[in-house]
Amino acid sequence: MNLTLKKFQVHPFHLVAPSPWPILVSFSVMSIMLTLVFNMHGFMHNNYWVVFSAIVAIMTMALWFRDIISEATYLGDHTLAVRKGLNIGFILFVVSELFFFIAIFWAFFHSAMAPTIELGGVWPPVGIEAIGPSELPLLNTILLLCSGATLTWSHHALLGGNRFNTLLGLILTIALAVTFMICQYMEYSNAPFTISDGIFGSVFYFGTGFHGLHIIIGIIMLGVSLWRIYTYQLTNNHHVGYETSILYYHFVDVVWLFLYIVFYWWGT
Amino acid sequence: MFALRRSLLSAGRIARPQQVARFSSASALLQHKAVKPAEKLSEVTGPESLIGTSAAPGTVPTDLEQETGLARLELLGKMDGIDIFDLGPVIRPQHSVKGTPDDPIWVPTYDNSRIVGCSGTPHGSHEVQWFHAGVDKVGRCDECGAVYRAYELGADEEAPHH
């Protein structure tokens, strides 16, 4: 064996090199927060800075992820140990997301399980016409459950080496998720209450709004995965980005089921 | 970003000078198929033999086709049943004697010394003791007196930058 340790690093870990992206992301995200707070306090001509910060953050993230894709696909830095670390890191992130949604449900139950006298002592509060579980939310539930099925189909096709079914399943998943978002937009447009209509409106749009935001993020993640499969970057065995996207999407799928049961069914 | 740039620079160093002149871009250099990618651990000659090829159009790539760099080296090792990183403890089953000044237990290092943890001979016979084992100065375990000595790894011409 003409392999000598001197030619290669003897450990499987990826010691990341100096990069401008972490500090740029930090400052742009801080800018988003500050400018959003300024906006909420009525500062004039501040929208430009919110948009500017968001553009910087999105561009920096895109360039950072581009670097990670290069390191993974083209430089071979992602050994099994690195992939394990990425997976564990992403699982921790999903756990933090879980507790974020637990907080939202806590806010809902806090107000709904013992409605105060100002609400008329009932939930939904007096004067609020809530959206029932047999209306648009039922279609939304079916859409999301179907998208979970097509996503699993796509993943198994990738594992089995069937490129056409992988791409078809993933395109269908994204189409179903986009349809879900359109339905949510229609529901919001026609809802008889707003976010400022007391606690019901507040927690309803708090929960469903953040869920919708997470579906959008899931669509972006699956879109990146679709592009990387289309350009032959992902192999049948090494596709951490796709696996984490799938995990994330299924997570927001399950959150929707709880939203449906609690916000649209039990809560109405 | 800097990692990419440095890797491409080092890829340029690996290639012969006339090759570098011929390729107009880094991607063209990477796509160059002069060196066949190694498909067995025994075929690995250097970093340039660890650049994977692409899959046939319309198929899902496999790891063997496309894995590159250190990840490919690891894969080829696994296919031969070899853990190339060898992260397990240094156990010397061939002679179950503790290291001595004349016959120390050798420990690889990128530096001129390394912290080692001794658990005695045979393995696990006392609490782990941590101490330095140097290239020039051996390390001895306070518990059992075993001797460890480091030997340097790393590229000959270039020191690690971090």
Q: Is the pLDDT of residue B148 over 50?
A: yes
Distance of CA A28 to the CA centre of its chain: 20
Please indicate, yes or no, whether residues A204 and A259 belong to a single structural domain of this protein.
yes
Domain termination residue (choose one: B78, B106, B127):
B78
Q: Which tops the pLDDT comparison, A223 or B146?
A: A223
Please indicate, yes or no, whether residues A56 and A112 belong to a single structural domain of this protein.
no
CATH number at residue A71: 1.10.287.70
pLDDT digits (tens, 9 = 90+) for A180-209: 999 999 999 999 999 999 999 999 999 999
Please indicate, yes or no, whether residues A55 and A178 belong to a single structural domain of this protein.
no
Please indicate, yes or no, whether residues A121 and A165 belong to a single structural domain of this protein.
yes
Report yes or no: A84 and A160 within 8 Å, Cβ to Cβ.
no
| Cα distance between residue A100 and residue A77, in whole Å | 32
Give the pLDDT band of residue B96 (cuts 50, 70, 90): low
Q: Do B62 and A235 touch (CB under 8 A)?
A: yes
pLDDT at site A51:
95
Chain B: give the shortest CA distance to residue A133, in Å.
Answer: 42
Q: Do A236 and B60 touch (CB under 8 A)?
A: yes
- Mean pLDDT score of chain B: 76
CATH number at residue B117: 2.60.260.40
Q: Determine, yes or no, domain membership for B33.
A: no
Domain termination residue (choose one: A26, A43, A77):
A77
Q: Determine, yes or no, domain membership for B98.
A: yes
Upstream peptide bond of B122 is cis (omega within 30 degrees of 0): yes
Please indicate, yes or no, whether residues A66 and A85 belong to a single structural domain of this protein.
no
Q: Do A75 and B85 touch (CB under 8 A)?
A: no
Lowest mean pLDDT among A74-78, A218-222, B92-96, B107-111: B92-96
Please indicate, yes or no, whether residues A69 and A174 belong to a single structural domain of this protein.
no
pLDDT at site B107:
85
pLDDT digits (tens, 9 = 90+) for A2-59: 455 567 777 899 999 999 999 999 999 999 999 999 999 989 899 999 999 999 999 9
Q: What are all long-range contacts of A238-245, with beta carbons under 8 Å and residues at least 24 apart?
A: A238/A78, A238/A83, A238/B63, A238/B66, A238/B67, A238/B71, A239/A158, A240/A72, A240/A78, A240/A83, A240/A86, A240/A87, A241/A69, A241/A72, A242/A155, A242/A158, A243/A87, A243/A155, A244/A86, A244/A87, A244/A90, A245/A218, A245/A221
pLDDT digits (tens, 9 = 90+) for B54-63: 889 999 999 9
Chain A: give the shortest CA distance to residue B65, in Å.
Answer: 9
Q: Do B61 and A15 touch (CB under 8 A)?
A: no
Please indicate, yes or no, whether residues B71 and B90 belong to a single structural domain of this protein.
no
Q: Determine, yes or no, domain membership for A6.
A: no
B10 touches chain A (CB under 8 A): no
Count up the domains in chain A and report the number.
Answer: 2
ipTM (interface predicted TM): 0.83
pLDDT at site A52:
95
pLDDT at site B91:
65
Q: What percent of chain A has pLDDT over 90?
A: 90
Q: Determine, yes or no, domain membership for B6.
A: no
Count up the domains in chain B and report the number.
Answer: 2
Q: What percent of chain A has pLDDT over 70?
A: 97
Give the pLDDT band of residue B28 (cuts 50, 70, 90): low
Chain B: give the shortest CA distance to residue A115, in Å.
Answer: 55
Please indicate, yes or no, whether residues A32 and A158 belong to a single structural domain of this protein.
no
From the list A71, A79, A158, which residue is nearest B3 (CB)?
A: A71
| Cα distance between residue A1 and residue A70, in whole Å | 30
- B144 belongs to an annotated ligand binding site: yes
Give the pLDDT band of residue B83 (cuts 50, 70, 90): confident
Q: Do B50 and A76 touch (CB under 8 A)?
A: yes
pLDDT at site B11:
46
| Cα distance between residue B72 and residue B158, in whole Å | 23
Chain B CB contacts of A63 under 8 Å are: 1
Domain termination residue (choose one: A77, A100, A125):
A77
pTM of the model: 0.82
Chain A: give the shortest CA distance to residue B111, in Å.
Answer: 13
Q: Determine, yes or no, domain membership for B25.
A: no
Q: Determine, yes or no, domain membership for A221.
A: yes
In this structure, chain A runs to a length of: 268
What is the residue range of B69's domain? 39-78
Please indicate, yes or no, whether residues A141 and A109 belong to a single structural domain of this protein.
yes
Q: Which tops the pLDDT comparison, B34 or A165?
A: A165
